[in-house]
Structure 1
Amino acid sequence: MKDLKIYITIGCLLLGVYLVSLYNRPDDINWQTTMYYKDKVPFGTYILYDQLKQINPGAQVINTNKSIYNAFHGNSLGKGTYIILAKSITLNKFDVEAMLKYINAGNTVFMSAFDWRGQIADTLNISSRAEYASKNTSINFVNNKLKRAADYKFNRDITNQYFDSYDTAKAVVLGMNHYEHSTLLSYKFGKGQLVLCSTPLVFTNYSLLTPQGADYAQKALSYLPPAKNVYWDQFQNGDIPEDESPMRVFFNNPSLQWAYYLAIFSLLLFVIYEVKRRQRIIPVIEPLQNTTLEFVNVVGQVYYEKRNNANIAHKKTIYLLGHIREKYKINTSKLDKEFMEALSQKTGIELTFIQELTTALYFVSTHGHITDHELIRLNHLIEQFYIKSR
């Protein structure tokens, strides 16, 4: 018994040590590419966003979650530099027009992404792809004042992306990889410039924590002139926190918000007042009588007195053909051999019965006078069809 207690004590101690070590184990590294400015994961952009004020001393860093058109349209933005870092950039015609108008006024836009879609790709004639011939593609600058003797080399293939197509007459190449494919481009529009980079991961935390990554990012951003306002775009990367609550419409509008509070307060007053009152006697309400059967009898009597067999047969035919179109998706404009074979296959009813039914339907549609016997026979065939097709 004493030995058993010793074993239980040792087992509890080992289990406790295991649980403590499991609790204090460091979290696994998240290698997901987020490009989110608050993320401290390897491929987040927390460091770059935090260092923007040092890159532009005295500048005011402003986040914007508006679409490109809404951000550039009008006078919502002041003079400065607009930065977009995203996995994919998609701009339509109106976005591009508003952005180019902002650049023409003497401002700078810097964009870096893996993929370029929409009017921005058509206007600048750009597309990008990745180098698959080798891993860890090296990159460097074209300008001899910025070019390093040894190329910039990074791990995890973060510099494999390049521009495989662009307008050579308008674009100025600022950077290339060792395959001499362009990775950094500059466009001049009016008094401002547009700078495009095909390797957005060099601006993430993983790259900037290395000396060469910080050096490359600093030199690449040195092409952006000093500015008092630096705008950080959140829209293209989807960094806009969305409120999925059904009440967001009320809380986003001050007037509706106060109306909501007033309604809740009034409802509480009503409940408090009503609980003090005695409940009234609930009156007995007689249920409505079902007059469907009487209506059917009246309608049937009217048709029987008029003896309009053709009208009844015609309506039954229309209803049946409508049922066939809706349930079996068969074209009923022609009651031919193709129609009969398709109806037989989809309903599982023998072809001979389908032929008999189709003949009766065709007879009704081509004759203006229908006898009682013919109407009864048509009704019998239609009822048999519904029974067999169940």
Structure 2
Amino acid sequence: MSGLKKYLIISTVLLVLYLLAQYFKPKPTNWAPTYLSEDKIPFGTYILRQRINDIFPNAEIKKTQKPVYNTLKEKLAGTSNYLIIASKLKIDKLDYREMIRYMESGNNIFISAFQISGVLPDTLKLDISSDFNMANKQEKSGINFTNPALHKNGNYYFDKGVSQQYFEKIDSVKAIVLGKKEDNEANFIQYKFGKGSLFIMPNPQLLTNYNLLKPDGLDYASKALSYLPKAQTIIWDEHFTRPDSEDTSPLRVIFNNPPLKWAYYIALFGLLAFIFFEIKRRQRIIPVITRPSNTSVEFVKVVGRVYYQQRDNRDIAEKKVKFLFEYIRNKYKLRTLDLDQEFKEKLTNVSDADPQTIENLLIEIYHLKKGQMVSDQHLINLNKVIEQFYKQDQ
């Protein structure tokens, strides 16, 4: 087995073993807070999206990735609730102005985010803070609703710091506190605008899959969302959780999956190594190739030496006459069997050779046909008169 085949077989076996090991190993939990409605990871919102109609029966769920201003500019028939769940969001002047108009006409907005920036916190005098302690992630603090009808005896407790955010500063004149931490800090508030309201919760992870799988989490989320009145449409905002333009690269699936990404790198490295070593092994000094020489002259010299050594002048003379007759027959269509006066006159009339040259040519051929011995001088004279005829007949 050649070295190349061994290299390919070993590389293929190692790559297949690695892919199998990566495929069958336990997949680590993805704790990334995406808040996307199709994500089933702990901090996705798949469960909320599937069960939200339990809270709002017959409501149409409409997803949007447009900015708040563009979404609210599209007037919807009937009443609606606008739901925003994200890590952070920024509301500018146009967004805020359209939000005010939207709520004053009888609609409601529910925002749950860790960070809120832009015009909204400045106008409403909001400041969000957290008492999450990285040194003690298991620390829990209770939260509860202020409404006696929703208040739970013993508070709600959640791990992983999902309820540690609170409002460090609020406008106590306009803000209605709907929920508090056990240390009396507000963590769920409401602002009224005309016929509608704005609800703000600084703990979006209370609405994620991780929390809704627990009885306390499901109970708390359903009570918090129950503050929204029944509406014909629920607008599910994904503008702050999904990039404006998704990655369209054909390799996005590979690079988004760590095992596939490393397998891709290994295969690419193996290919580059193979190319490098094959170039090094196969490269040789390019030999100098001489130009092909014209051997026609050498061939003629060899044939000439053979005839010269045999000294067969008659054979040479007969061949030259034979070639001459072939030339005359092909060019002038004359019969060459009888070299009589008629042939001489026809050849003189049709060819460009001098009559004297033709006369000398026929005399030399006549002597050759008489069967006399062909001397060197006779052969030379015959060759000269034939060449002279060719030259004049051009």
Q: Say whether the fold is shared (TM-score over 0.5).
A: yes
Output the amino acid matched with 1:47. I
- Give the one of 150, 153, 177 matched to 1:149: 153
Which residue is 1:88 aligned to?
88
Q: Per-residue deviation at 1:166?
A: 1.2
Q: Is 1:42 paired with 2:46? A: no
Question: What corresponds to 1:32 in structure 2?
Answer: 32
Residue 62 of structure 2 corresponds to 62
Show structure 2 runs of 5+ residues with no match: 1-15, 250-394
User: Aligned AA for 1:131?
Assistant: D
Matched, 1:193 2:203: no
Name the counterpart of 2:141: 137
Contact 1:43–1:204 at 8 Å: present in 2 too? yes
What root-mean-square deviation, in Å, do the aligned CA atoms of Structure 1 and Structure 2 show?
Answer: 2.2
Contact in 1 for aligned 2:162/2:205 (Cα 8 Å): yes
Q: 1:23 Cα deviation (Å)?
A: 3.7
Map Cα deviations across residues 313-338 of structure 1 (whole Å, 9 max, x no partner): xxxxxxxxxxxxxxxxxxxxxxxxxx
Matches of 1:74 and 1:203, distance apart in 2? 27
Residue in structure 2 matched with residue 171 of structure 1 by the alignment: 175
Note closer, same or farther for the CA distance 1:240–1:211 as it changes in structure 2 (3 Å cut): farther
Deviation at 1:17, TM superposition (A): 11
Q: Return the alpha-carbon distance in structure 1 between the equivalents of residues 153 and 228 of structure 2.
A: 23
- Please tell me whether Structure 1 or Structure 2 has the larger radius of gyration of its CA atoms: 2
How far did residue 24 of structure 1 move? 3.0
Q: Which amino acid aligns with 1:87?
A: S
Structure 1 residue 144: deviation in Å?
A: 1.0
Query: Where does structure 1 lack aligned partners over 5 or more consecutive residues?
Result: 1-15, 246-390
Task: Specify the alignment match of 2:225 in structure 1.
Answer: 221
Instruction: Tell me the equivalent position of 1:354.
Output: none
Residue 235 of structure 1, CA deviation:
0.6
Pair 1:24–1:124, CA change in 2 (3 A): same
Residue 98 of structure 2 corresponds to: 98
Percent of matched pairs sharing the same residue: 38
Q: What SS does structure 1 have at the residue aligned with 2:120?
A: helix
CA distance in 1, matches of 2:17, 2:89: 50
Q: Which amino acid in 1 is paired with 2:65?
A: N
Post-superposition Cα deviations, 1:328-386, rounded to whole Å, max 9, x if no partner, equal: xxxxxxxxxxxxxxxxxxxxxxxxxxxxxxxxxxxxxxxxxxxxxxxxxxxxxxxxxxx
Mapped partners of 1:37, 1:132: distance in 2: 26
Q: Does the 8 Å CA contact 1:115/1:127 hold for their aligned counterparts?
A: no
Specify the alignment match of 1:180 in structure 2. Answer: 184
Aligned residues: 230
SS in 2 for 1:129: strand
Cα deviation, residue 45, structure 1 = 0.7
TM-score, normalised by the number of residues in structure 1: 0.56
TM-score (structure 2 length as normaliser)? 0.55
The 1-side partners of 2:19 and 2:95 are apart by 55
Counterpart of 2:127 in structure 1 is 127
2:189 is paired with a residue of what secondary structure? Answer: strand
Q: In structure 2, the residue corresponding to 1:156 is in which secondary structure? A: coil
CA drift of 1:75 comes to 2.0
Q: Name the counterpart of 2:206.
A: 202
Question: Which residue does 1:367 correspond to in 2?
Answer: none
Structure 1 position 242, deviation (Å)? 2.8
Change (3 A) 1:68 1:78: farther
Q: CA deviation at 1:19?
A: 8.7
